[in-house]
Amino acid sequence: MGIVQPLVDWYTNFMAAGDIRVQKWTFMAGPAPTLSICLSYVLFVKWIGPYIMRNRPPLNIRWLMILYNFAMVIISTYIFLELGILGWFGKYNWKCQPVDYTDNPDATAMAHLAWWYYLSKFLEFTDTIFFVLRKKFTHISTLHVIHHGIMPMSVWWGVKFTPGGHSTFFAFVNSLVHIVMYFYYGLAAIGPSMNRFLWWKKYMTAFQMVQFIAIFVHSFQLLFRECNYPRGFMWWIGFHAVLFWFLFADFYKNTYGKKMSKSSLNGSAKYINGDSKSNGYKSNGHCNGTVTNGVSKPNGVNGVVTNGSAKQNGFHKNTENGYANGTSSNGHYNGVVHRTTVNTECD
C-alpha cells in the first residue's frame, strides 16, 4: 500500500497536467480506453478474426472498400487543409511553434482538429478488418499491424498534452500522404479496369518514406534551437518517424528490390552448358516441368516450349517472392491486390 498510493497520486497529478481544454473530451481523461481499443484491434486481426473466418468464404465487399477509401480521401483532405489554414500555411513558424493553450479561436480549433485526427486513427483499423473479411491473412504483416496498432495511442499523448503547435506538423504531412494513398487504393478497389492507372505504387511508398524524413528532421531541429515546446514530445515524434522509416524501408526493399532473377533472359530459364539447372523454377513463380535443351519435361503436367521456356498450358500456381496461391505480400491496405503486385505469367 505504501508503494501503490504514491503511484496513484503521481498518475492523478500527471493526467491533471494535461491540457484543461481536452480533459472532458471522449477518451481524453486517461489512456486506458485508447490502449484497450488498440489491444483489441491486435487480438482481432491477428487471432480472433482469422479464427472466425477460417471455415467461411471470403466476403465480397468491393463496394464497401470503394466507399471507405474515397471517404478517407475526403476526411484526409479536410484535416490537411484545416491544419494548413489554422497553422502550417503561414500562421505557424516551421522552425519553432509553441503550443497555444489559451481560448483563442484558432488555438481552440486546432485542439479540436488534433482530436479529430486522433479519432481518425481508429477509423483506419478498417484497412486491416477488410483483410480479415476477405481472408487476405498474408497481408496482415508486422509492419501493417504495428503501424495501425500504435498510432492511436501515440497520437493520444499529443492531444492530451500538446494539441497544437510544433507536433501538429506530423498530422499535417501524414494527412497529405493519406490523400494520395487512399486515392490509390480507392482506384484499385474499383477493379482490373483501373490497372493501367496504378503504375505508381512504388512511388507512393517512396512518398511515405519521404514523409518520415520530413517529420524527424522537423522534430529534431529543436535539438539545435531554443523553443518553448516540450522536448519530450520532440523525442516522441522523432522516434516514431525514425521507427516507421526503417519499417517502410525494409518493406520497400523486400517489395521492389526483388525483381525477376537475372538468371532469366528473354523469358528463358538460365542455361548452363545448354541445360536448365532450375528444374523449371523461376523467381517470382514456378513453372510445372523441367526444361532441358529447350525441351519441356512436363512431369505429368502439360507444357509448351517457346524460345526455350516452359509455358503454362493449364494449371499454374501464381507466386510472388515465394508466396503461393496468387496472393501478394506487397500491399498493406484494404485487402486490395494490384496488377503490380502479382505475377500472372510463367515466362
Task: Determine how β-strand 290-292 pairs with β-strand 295-297.
Answer: antiparallel
Could you tell me which residues come within 8 angstroms of residue 306 by beta carbon, excluding any fewer than 6 positions away? 267
Q: Which residues pair with 303 in a beta bridge?
A: 312
Tell me whether residue 147 is one of the annotated catalytic residues. Answer: yes
Instruction: Quote the CA–CA distance of 212 and 336 in Å, as a whole number.
Output: 24
Left if phi > 0, otherwise alpha if psi is -120 to 50, otherwise beta: which for 130? alpha
| 88-121 residues labelled b (16+ CB within 10 A) or e (exposed) | beeebeeeebebbbeeeeebbebbbbbbebbebb
Residues in the chain: 347
User: Among 139, 144, 147, 332, which one carries the catalytic annotation?
Assistant: 147
Q: In what order do the strands lie in the sheet with 275-276?
A: 271-272, 275-276, 290-292, 295-297
Nine-digit cell string for 19: 491540457
Task: Determine how β-strand 303-306 pairs with β-strand 295-297.
Answer: unpaired
So which residues are the catalytic ones? Answer: 147
